[in-house]
Structure 1
Amino acid sequence: MKILFVGDVVGRPGRLALSRRLDRLVDVHAVDLVVVNGENAAAGFGLTVDIAKELFDLGADVITTGNHIWDKREIIPCLDSFPALLRPANYPPGTPGRGSGIFATAAGIQVGVLNLEGRVFMNNLECPFRAADELVEELRRKTPVILVDFHAEATSEKVAMGCYLDGRVSAVVGTHTHVQTADERILPGGTAYITDAGMTGSRDSVIGIRKELAVERFLTQLPVRFEVAKRDAVLCGVLFDIDENTGRAQAVRRILEEISDSD
């Protein structure tokens, strides 16, 4: 079976890229399930209810997120209303929303999706490795096909998570840093891995933000109001081919689709 993971959608340019390329990618690659990281889909920071619905309408079967899920407060009381909208699982007990779930493809194949957040250079959360132990075991009782979105800053922490879960999940895909890495591979235990899926948004930017604003902040060290860049959008993601009976990855492929301003 094929799972397409789409890297962090940044603002309206990212949503437009999704609208112009996702259907074709699904058709060309016979994709069974689409997972989209949407934590930056609302003006580059957070997610609103309407935009979550828009991502689902565009073809996302599951939306994963990360530390920016809390930036638009209107989504917080609604997290429990969207079974296919996940927030990182290693937030404290009682936090709204859910961090994992089982989702069925059109053919009825059960797929587990787990969303975790790293701690290095990020929030002081519960240990994502220990959270993974508990939740992966729970998901494996229902299906061998499990995809993990590990939303983390440090490459070392992401690689460590891939090694830690090798043989227990089908794929570990990193998000958050918005730059697609070239280290996609299948680990010895059969788990597909990539450090970062990349970003779906403006390439003419600093990780999705207008470059002149990002440079100004670095130069002055003063607060600068960031705005989403608009030109030269790309759709970045990863395509996984998984054996539905064993859960082992058979292939992993980076996806990078360029969308010109005249497209």
Structure 2
Amino acid sequence: MRILFIGDVVGRSGRAIVHQRLPEMISDWKVDFVVLNGENAAGGFGITENIFREFVDAGADIVTLGNHAWDQREALVFIERSPRLIRPLNFPKGTPGRGATVIEARNGARVLVINAMARIFMDPLDDPFTAIDRELEICALGTDADAIIVDFHGEATSEKQAMGHHLDGRVTAVIGTHTHVPTADHQVLPGGTAFQSDAGMTGDYDSVIGMVKDEPLSRFLRRIPATKFEAATGPATLCGLAIETDDASGLATRVAPVRLGARLEEAVPRFWLQA
């Protein structure tokens, strides 16, 4: 099975490259399932229903969120009628929406996608380790799901690595989001779980984590906010992770970074190009 994960889509620039490139990536690489983090898609802050629908139309099977889930207030409403949009699992009980869902892939496989948020340097939500463990007791790899993808949205590399090792052998992949910088530690862990500390952002890299440079620089230099942050609108780079799985076990066999677009060095899953 071929799974494509797309890192945090930031603003109009990020959305544009998704719409331009994702359909051909699915077709050319014969991708079975696409997970996309969309929590920064609306001008860098949150997601709207129209944007969510555009991602699904472009080929995203599941859209995940994070700490900016509710920046666009309409998300509190439309998430209830959008089973392909999930927010962090460890939000308090009663939060609208769901933190995990099972969706059928293009090849007929059952894919469980879990979205959870870390706690170091983040909002103090419920324990994500326990929350994911409970979910896996309900829906286990190999019996209830053919693949399990975890989007772990967090700041600290150590917490993301710890989650990867905690879930190794029990899920197909643990992929970090939130920091907007792609890490070079993509690997298959000893138990067969694909891992990357952060998939990076899909947006304009001539920026400060996707924002127009002037305001972040001003705040670092003077410690005084002058205006609001705005998403950079230059040509984007699409960043993510390609995962190939063993159909019998649901665990990962190969993993490769994906970088396509304007500024970062291109990276593609060559094992898919050779098939």
Q: Match of 2:244?
A: 241
Structure 2 spans left out of the alignment, 5+ residues:
264-275
Q: Match of 2:209?
A: 207
Q: Match of 1:157?
A: 159
Distance in 1 (CA, whole Å) between partners of 2:53 and 2:63 is 10
Select between 135-144 and 61-70 the one with higher mean Cα deviation. Answer: 135-144
Contact 2:61–2:84 (8 Å) recurs in 1: yes
Q: Match of 1:232?
A: 235
Q: Match of 1:197?
A: 199
Q: Match of 2:171?
A: 169
Q: Match of 1:142?
A: 144
Distance in 2 (CA, whole Å) between partners of 1:33 and 1:137 is 23
Q: Deviations over 1:1-46 (max 9, x none)?
A: 0010000000100000101111221122210011100000000000
2:224 to 222, 228, 248: 222
Q: Match of 1:108?
A: 108
Select between 103-112 and 182-191 the one with higher mean Cα deviation. Answer: 103-112
Counterparts of 1:47-66 in structure 2, within 5 Å, are: 47-66=47-66
Select between 223-232 and 178-187 the one with higher mean Cα deviation. Answer: 223-232
1:181 to 177, 183, 190: 183
Cα offset for 1:232? 2.8
Cα offset for 1:221? 1.2
Distance in 2 (CA, whole Å) between partners of 1:139 and 1:211 is 43
AA aligned to 1:183 is: D
Aligned CA-pair RMSD:
1.1
Contact 1:102–1:139 (8 Å) recurs in 2: no
Cα offset for 1:242? 1.0
Q: Match of 1:76?
A: 76
Select between 116-125 and 17-26 the one with higher mean Cα deviation. Answer: 17-26
SS in 2 for 1:250: strand
Q: Match of 2:118?
A: 118
Select between 219-228 and 33-42 the one with higher mean Cα deviation. Answer: 219-228
Say yes or no: does 1:39 pair with 2:39: yes
Q: Match of 1:11?
A: 11
Cα offset for 1:244? 2.4
Select between 164-173 and 242-251 the one with higher mean Cα deviation. Answer: 242-251
Say yes or no: does 1:21 pair with 2:32: no
Structure 1 spans left out of the alignment, 5+ residues:
none
SS in 2 for 1:69: coil
